[in-house]
Amino acid sequence: MVLIKKFKNLILLLVSSVFLFTACDVPVVKGKFDRFSWSKLDPFVFEADSVSFRSEFTEKFEYPRIEHLFPISIKDSLLQWGKDRIKIKKGSGGKIEYIVLEARATEIPLKIQKGVKGLLYKDREFRYNLLAVVKIKVKDRLGVEKSLVAKVEKWIVTLEGLSILEREEAWYSLTEGSLKKLNLFFESEIPKNFGNSLIN
């Protein structure tokens, strides 16, 4: 009887251990997202002796600010646009500055239907706003300074019950859409504003 009792206790211990391992080993599924790049596009080549890329934006880790949670950094993506698309040809004495001023994202909870209506369909849960502001400052070979500012605002709404991966995909899509707007703006406005300083 003692042997049987010990055997039962051993089985119970093994089952408990397996259950504990399973309960603690539930993986959090997070996506792998490609970083944004514009290296395949033709750059804007300026007559200048120097070019700098910097950010004057500071992420905040206080709700409703959530840019630090995005799978790909908004700030780094904005800086990458400049590094990929702004080049210089030295020898003229000019100077180019590319500055990220804003790269923020905020989460706004939306009112969710309760009661019977809330059980029948998925309601809108959050609105996500993204604000990006970038300044390009150009000093030409004569010392004349000009500035161009791009301000991009974009938002999306998500449904309730999203998984972590689905939420990250929504944030990635929001970032991608904002960067496309930024790219279109600069492609249109850089030649208009800095034509005298451009080589191509």
Across 62-68, average pLDDT? 98
Across 135-154, average pLDDT? 96
Across 94-106, average pLDDT? 98
The reported pLDDT for the residue numbered 19 is 36
Three-state SS for 90-126 is CCCCCEEEEEEEEEEEEEEECCCCCCHHHHHCCCEEE
For the chain, what is the mean pLDDT? Answer: 87
In whole angstroms, how far apart are CA 162 and each of 56, 100, 116? 33, 31, 21
Q: Among residues 181, 180, 175, which one has the least CA distance to residue 76? A: 175
The reported pLDDT for the residue numbered 121 is 65
Across 137-161, average pLDDT? 96
The reported pLDDT for the residue numbered 122 is 72
Which residues, including other chains, have CB under 8 Å from residue 11's CB and lie 6 or more apart? Answer: none
Across 111-140, average pLDDT? 84
Of all residues in the chain, the percent with pLDDT exceeding 70 is 80
Query: CA geometry: angle at 143 spanning 140 and 147, to 5°?
Result: 60
pLDDT digits over 6-30, tens only? Answer: 444 544 444 344 333 333 444 445 5
- What CATH topology corresponds to 29-197? Double Stranded RNA Binding Domain (3.30.160)
> Could you tell me the pTM of the whole model?
0.81
Domain coordinates in residue numbering, the chain: 29-197
pLDDT band at 117 (very low <50, low <70, confident <90, very high): low
- Does 17 or 151 have the greater pLDDT score? 151
